[in-house]
Amino acid sequence: MKDCQLTIPSVIYSGQGTSGKVAEIIQREQAKSVLLFTGKDIRKNGLTKTVEEICQQVNLRVVDDLAAEPSVADVERTIQAAGGKVDLIIAIGGGSVMDAAKLASIIIGADYTLQDLLQDSSRAVKQMKTVMIPTTCGTGSEATCNAIVAIPELETKKGIVSDCMIPDYVLLDVDMIARLPAPILAATAVDALAHVVECYTSKKATVLSDTYALMGAQKIFHNIRKAYKNPEDLEAKLELMVGAFYGGVAITGSGTTAVHALSYPLGGKYHIPHGVSNAILFAHVMAFNKRGCAERLARLCDVVYPKQAGTSVDERADYIIADIANVVQETQIPVSLEKFGVKHEEIDFLVESGSQQTRLLVNNCLELSKADIRSLYEKLF
């Protein structure tokens, strides 16, 4: 049995109205200055109101103009505009907002830049503590040691990885997603589902990451369709938020695989939302991977759908793969690249760019040749 290690956020709250816990955190940290990362629409919709009111007692700076799916230049500009060090950084938003806040927590006040970290993330040192309040139910950024940025000149994305970016506090407040539009709920929750399934079938999976991946899978498989079809079901939505958090923890322990690797060029060049690009690839990649992880998929099925336990390994693995496809279908996520203006003749770019995502491809249970990658992209047209 191999040794394993897992680092998770120090304090996690979940429930309705837990964003109000910011008051306790400020007091505990004796914070006199706070930097809030968020988005203009999030602020406009009133999701930052409670935190901003609490922060009236301190020196508050707000950054709310980060671009969606931000590039390196976008993040650099945002961090520069944020000013100097503070006592506490709070992020209220989706993955891009939380990733930018995490990067700010290791860059502001440091003697290195974001460009330096893209070359060598081991230089990172935490400069400020962070509080993450997600407004979607899928990125898992509130739990991970990763931050993703777009590299426009390469038409792809790249991840910076450092345990220094693991947040200190996480507030899973279901009020933040109570009015989340159904397409965004679907895309982000499928992203979270990809996290748990990929992490469980990753070559780097451990007994610790498996624990979180399986718990996350149970919550997401059983609640995503309920939350999508019934927007008033806050219990299902909270289960999705917790499942997404578990997926983020699993990522820190083992890492995602070919689904995420091959999705990066779709977001980097064509600006397909991250969750959607994962959804398009998800079932196809898992079907390809089946011969390398059928036993794992079957065990996943045993945990999520115990009534299937009497069937064969192949049947249980196929059941999970079919259910992934069903989730994507029932949440009405488009599965053809042509709907996003991607032309078949651009497949050479996709193959070349996808094959360069070695940070994640090395986690995949099967090695993918360029021919394999081409075959997978072909299925998307």
373 close to 262: Cβ distance less than 8 angstroms:
yes
Query: What percentage of the chain carries pLDDT values higher than 90?
Result: 91
**What H or E segment, with its residue span, contains residue 226?**
helix 207-229
Distance CA 151, CA 209 (A): 29
Establish whether domains 11-177 and 182-378 are of one fold: no
Distance CA 18, CA 12 (A): 10
Residue 3 has pLDDT above 90, yes or no: no
Q: Of 168, 46, 155, 45, which is closest to residue 106 (Cα–Cα)?
A: 168
Higher pLDDT, 268 or 184: 184
Give, in degrees to the nearest 5, the angle at Cα 340 between 369 and 144: 65
Q: What is the CATH number of domain 182-378?
A: 1.20.1090.10
157 close to 272: Cβ distance less than 8 angstroms:
no
327 close to 221: Cβ distance less than 8 angstroms:
yes
91 close to 101: Cβ distance less than 8 angstroms:
yes
Residue 368 has pLDDT above 90, yes or no: yes
Considering the entire predicted model, what is its pTM? Answer: 0.94
Instruction: Write down the mean pLDDT value for the chain.
Output: 96
φ/ψ of residue 61, rounded to 5: -115, 140
Q: Of 228, 230, 193, which is closest to residue 213 (Cα–Cα)?
A: 193
- Which residue(s) pair with 71 in the sheet? 150
Query: Could you give the residue ranges of the DSSP H alpha helices within 254-366?
Result: 258-270, 274-304, 313-330, 347-355, 358-361
Q: How many other CB atoms are there within 10 angstroms of residue 189's CB atom? A: 31
Burial class (CB in 10 A: 0-12, 13-18, 19+), 255: buried
Give the distance from CA 160 to its chain's centroid.
Answer: 13
The reported pLDDT for the residue numbered 219 is 98
Distance CA 376, CA 137 (A): 27
| Token digits of residue 371 | 């021919």
Lowest-pLDDT choice from 52-61, 149-158, 344-353? 149-158
- DSSP secondary structure string for all residues of 28-73: HHT-SEEEEE-BHHHHHTTTTHHHHHHGGGSEEEEE-BPPSS-BHH
- Tens digits of residue pLDDT in 125-143: 999 999 999 999 999 999 9
For the chain, what are the domain ranges?
Answer: 11-177, 182-378
Give, in degrees to the nearest 5, the angle at Cα 76 between 73 and 79: 150
Q: Specify the 3-state DSSP secondary structure of 88.
A: strand
- Tens digits of residue pLDDT in 86-139: 999 999 999 999 999 999 999 999 999 999 999 999 999 999 999 999 999 999
| 145 confidence band (pLDDT: 50, 70, 90) | very high
- DSSP secondary structure string for all residues of 147-208: EEEEEGGGTEEEEEE-GGGS-SEEEEEGGGGTT--HHHHHHHHHHHHHHHHHHHHSTT--HH
Based on C-alpha coordinates, what's the Rg of the chain? 20
Distance CA 348, CA 373 (A): 10
The reported pLDDT for the residue numbered 156 is 80
Distance CA 66, CA 43 (A): 12
Fold (topology level) of 11-177 = Rossmann fold (3.40.50)
The reported pLDDT for the residue numbered 1 is 55
Residue 223 has pLDDT above 80, yes or no: yes
| Token digits of residue 158 | 């790249």
| Token digits of residue 380 | 């998307």
Size of the chain in residues = 381
φ/ψ of residue 13, rounded to 5: -115, 145
The reported pLDDT for the residue numbered 67 is 81
Query: What percentage of the chain carries pLDDT values higher than 70?
Result: 99
146 close to 161: Cβ distance less than 8 angstroms:
yes
Q: How many other CB atoms are there within 10 angstroms of residue 345's CB atom? A: 7
Distance CA 163, CA 112 (A): 17
Q: Report the pLDDT averaged over residues 218-238.
A: 98
Distance CA 195, CA 198 (A): 5
